[in-house]
Chain A
Amino acid sequence: MNRSLRKQVGAVATWLLTFLLMVIICVPGLWVVLTAFRPNGEVLAKPPVWIPENPSLNNFAKIFGYGADQVAIPVPAYFANSLIIALTSTVIALLIGMSGGYAFARYRFRFKNGLFLGLMLSRTVPGIALSLPIFMIWSRIGLIDAKMGLIIVYVAMNVPFTIWLIDGFFRQIPKEMSEAAQVDGCTRWQAFWKIEFPLAKSGIASAGIFAFLTSWNEYALASNLTRSTDSKTLPVGLMDFTAQFTIDWAGMSAMAVIIIIPALILTFLVQKHLIAGLTFGGVKG
């Protein structure tokens, strides 16, 4: 009796805690999303309007340059820049990362641990600290305010972590798979593309998504290496709003929603593989 009562109390407490947790995780984001659908007047209203009274897509129309009151912020250009930069850097980082991850997963060689540590340490350098010399060098070779300038930096930023993840995914595939294929008549190259790559495919895809998001979300470097609509990305563009006298909370929220959406969708796609890759690469040597 006592025991089952205690169990019930425990269960209720568990649920309450979980509920609280979810509230803390979800409410700030939901609030931003709700705000994206309100007129700015409602945002500033006192007493606050909790549920939007007449939700509309006006804010989105506004930041994309349609509708009555336009914003001076060229969101479509930023969006295109973000997409081009994130996609290109992801593809390159994946190719480099696959090659490096495979080397770590499949070969024994001298300086292996040292090299791995070196790669990881290079990722440690704070973006803002790295931005200083890159800013100086890029401005000399004309890569400031150029998409290529950011792409190169993002490739370098993503390579170490991509290697970490892909190393983990290749390790999960027994070495014998590739050996069996080689005995079956494949070259090592064929064995890779016909056996190991298809097996690691979903893992590699999630490493790619992770790299994409890192580039998509990056701010510290982008804010210093970009100047105009030629190369400014969405996170940098978001700060354009704060430069104005009155913050356009509604417009800013609409833009935030645009930045969040890919993150939400992609997170949903990768979550399973990402955890597997992180832990496997880390724990199982």
Chain B
Amino acid sequence: MAEITLNNVIKRYGKTEVVHGINLDIAHNEFVVLVGPSGCGKSTTLRMIAGLEDISDGAISIGSDVVNDLPPRKRNISMVFQNYALYPHMSVRENLGFGLKIAKHDDAVVTERVNEAAEILGLDELLERTPAELSGGQRQRVAMGRAIVRHPQAFLFDEPLSNLDAKLRVQMRTEIKKLHQKVKTTVVYVTHDQVEAMTLADRIVVMKDGYIEQVGTPMDVFNHPVNTFVASFIGSPPMNLLPAVIKGGQVVFVDGKSLPVPARLAACVTEGQEVIFGLRPDDLTPVGHGIAESGDSARMTLDVVLSEPLGTETILYTSIAGQEAQGKMFGPRNVTPGETLEFDIAMDKAHLFDAASGRSVRVD
């Protein structure tokens, strides 16, 4: 059993605090992804779990033990590094078996486990090569193999795919997911790429400036962002965020145009409240080009400034109340810049955030 618990974990470098009292419970066999922009403290948090950074305050436990004072080797975890950190002076076989050798396992056990891992990851042919002779994807696989041979309590991944090209990244992403299904273990995975987070995670932890902003399943985080940061960080293209004021049951934009307050949020706003109206591009679609006609929808006539056809959909750049906004056209046709279109706004999917705090009006 390997739950990982972070209890009010703080990290300081000298006087600067970079992680401010994080609380997180990771269940056994759960795949948790820490995501956030660079400098948000996600890697530091992971390295504290690994034991590569000291914990300034608070406690981390793996399984039932507090591991604050244990060096990495006593935590029974394994880690895949961003640059793979393969040992260049050892063959793939030696790389895979290194941890077992250090733990003084019999040669027979080492060979067996290395072969087992090599088979899972399709490394059989490469065992006698050195890291220098491998391609990026192969190195990535060896790094993962090195992690699984020891049957650790938990896998830690530190941006493992960021050194790969786009195509390989997608491929390895699937392999990591498959691997997790084969080798059931707790996984903590750090990335700055929200797509990776969405596709891999059982639960996503969104971090910013050393704080956890939101924890939840991918769909939860996507559908119910707690604040404007999460709303704009998760999802691509990002959610449109437009400042407005609540007046007489209407969301009134700066240029005076208005939309009705979404029915489900009516009780959460007060008259005169300054808000930010959030709408995903998927929910701003030209009439007849939406995903599914929404029950509670409003309409607006907007000029298209630019269009980016992607095949299955076209992204439309327009502006609402003087602010750039993006919409999507599903089942697209050609759109010329300057064209004026009637847009459907799926009000049941719209979000309202308090302008002052940035927090969703619904959560409070």
Report which residue of A184, A185, A194, A195 has the largest number of chain B beta carbons within 10 angstroms of its beta carbon. A184
User: Which residues does chain B contribute within 8 Å of A187, judged by CB atoms?
Assistant: 71, 73
- Decide yes or no whether B88 CB sits under 8 A from chain A: yes
Cβ B98 vs Cβ A182 within 8 A: no
**A residues 177-204 with Cβ under 8 Å of B?**
177, 179-188, 190, 194-195, 198-199
A177 adjacent to B102 (CB under 8 Å): no
Q: Which of A174, A176, A184, A188 contacts B102 (CB 8 A)?
A: A184
- Alpha-carbon separation in the docked complex, A181 to B88 (Å): 12
Q: Are A179 and B71 also in contact (CB < 8 A) when A184-B99, A185-B103, A186-B102 are?
A: no
Among A176, A183, A194, A198, contact of B78 (Cβ-Cβ < 8 Å)? A183
Contact B83 A176 (CB under 8 A): yes
Q: Are A174 and B103 in contact (CB under 8 A)?
A: no
Are A184 and B89 neighbours in the complex by a CB distance under 8 Å? no
A50 to B95, CA, bound (A): 61
Contact partner, B71, options A180, A182, A195, Cβ 8 Å: A182
The answer to whether B77 has its CB under 8 Å from any CB of chain A is yes
Q: Is B93 an interface residue (CB 8 A)?
A: no
CB of B239, distance to nearest CB on chain A (Å): 36
Report A29-72 CB contacts with B as 1/0, cut-off 8 Å.
00000000000000000000000000000000000000000000
Residues of A within 8 A of B203 (CB): none
CA distance A176 to B72 in the complex (A): 13
With CB as the reference atom, state the residue of chain A lying closest to B76.
Answer: A185
Decide: B102 and A183 in contact? CB cutoff 8 A: no
How far does the alpha carbon of A177 sit from the alpha carbon of B85 in the complex, in Å? Answer: 5
> In the complex the two chains form, what is the Cα distance from A27 to B324 in whole Å?
75
Give chain B nearest CB distance to A159 CB in angstroms: 27
**Alpha-carbon distance A277/B246, docked complex (angstroms):** 66
User: What is the minimal beta-carbon distance from B117 to any residue of chain A, in angstroms?
Assistant: 13
By secondary structure, the A interface counts as helix
Contact residues in B for A184 (Cβ distance below 8 Å): 73, 78, 98-99, 102, 146, 150
Cβ < 8 Å to A, chain B residues 69-105: 71-73, 77-79, 81-83, 85, 87-89, 98-99, 102-103
B89 touches which of A179, A188, A199 (Cβ 8 Å): A199
Number of interface residues of B (CB under 8 A): 23
Query: Cβ of A185 and Cβ of B52 under 8 Å apart?
Result: no
Size of chain A's interface in residues, with CB distance under 8 A?
A: 18
Is B315 interfacial (CB 8 A cutoff)?
Answer: no
Closest chain-A Cβ to B115's Cβ sits at a distance in Å of: 18
Known contacts A182-B52, A185-B102; decide if A198 and B89 are in contact (CB<8 Å): yes
Q: Hey, which chain A residues are within 8 Å of B89, CB to CB?
A: 198-199
The answer to whether the Cβ of B201 comes within 8 Å of any Cβ in the partner chain is no
A2 to B154, CA, bound (A): 71
CB of B73 within 8 A of CB of A186, answer yes
Contact indicator B73/A176 (Cβ below 8 Å): no
B72 interface neighbour in A177, A182, A195, Cβ under 8 Å: A182
A176 and B98 form a contact (CB under 8 A):
no
Q: Is the CB of A185 within 8 A of B73?
A: yes
A182 to B87, CA, bound (A): 12
Q: Is B275 an interface residue (CB 8 A)?
A: no
Q: Which residue of A lies closest to B78 (CB)?
A: A183
User: Given contacts A199-B88, A199-B89, are A180 and B103 in contact (CB under 8 A)?
Assistant: no
Q: Is B345 an interface residue (CB 8 A)?
A: no
Instruction: Check B50 for interface membership: any CB of A closer than 8 A.
Output: yes
- A176 and B88 within 8 A (CB): no
Given A182-B52, A184-B146, A185-B102, A177:B71 Cβ within 8 A: no
Q: In the complex, what's the smallest C-beta–C-beta distance from A179 to chain B, in angstroms?
A: 5
Which residues on B sit within 8 Å (CB–CB) of A176?
Answer: 81-83, 85
Q: From the candidates A177, A180, A194, name the one contacting B79 in the complex (CB within 8 A).
A: A180
Least CB distance from A162 to B in Å reads 23
CA distance A120 to B82 in the complex (A): 35
Measured in the bound complex, the distance between the Cα atoms of B85 and A199 in whole Å is: 13
* In the complex, chain B residues 156-187 whose Cβ is within 8 Å of any chain A Cβ: 156
29 A/B residue pairs, CB under 8 Å, sorted by A: A174-B83, A174-B85, A176-B81, A176-B82, A176-B85, A177-B85, A179-B52, A180-B146, A181-B98, A182-B72, A183-B51, A183-B72, A183-B77, A183-B78, A183-B79, A183-B156, A184-B78, A184-B150, A185-B73, A185-B99, A185-B102, A185-B150, A186-B102, A187-B71, A187-B73, A194-B98, A198-B89, A199-B88, A199-B89
Q: A176-B81, A180-B85, A188-B71 are in contact. List 15 more A-B contacts (CB 8 A).
A: A176-B83, A176-B85, A177-B85, A179-B79, A179-B81, A179-B85, A181-B87, A181-B98, A182-B72, A183-B72, A184-B98, A185-B73, A185-B102, A187-B71, A199-B88
Sort A-B residue pairs by CB-CB distance and give the 5 closest, nearest first: A184-B99, A176-B85, A180-B85, A185-B102, A182-B72
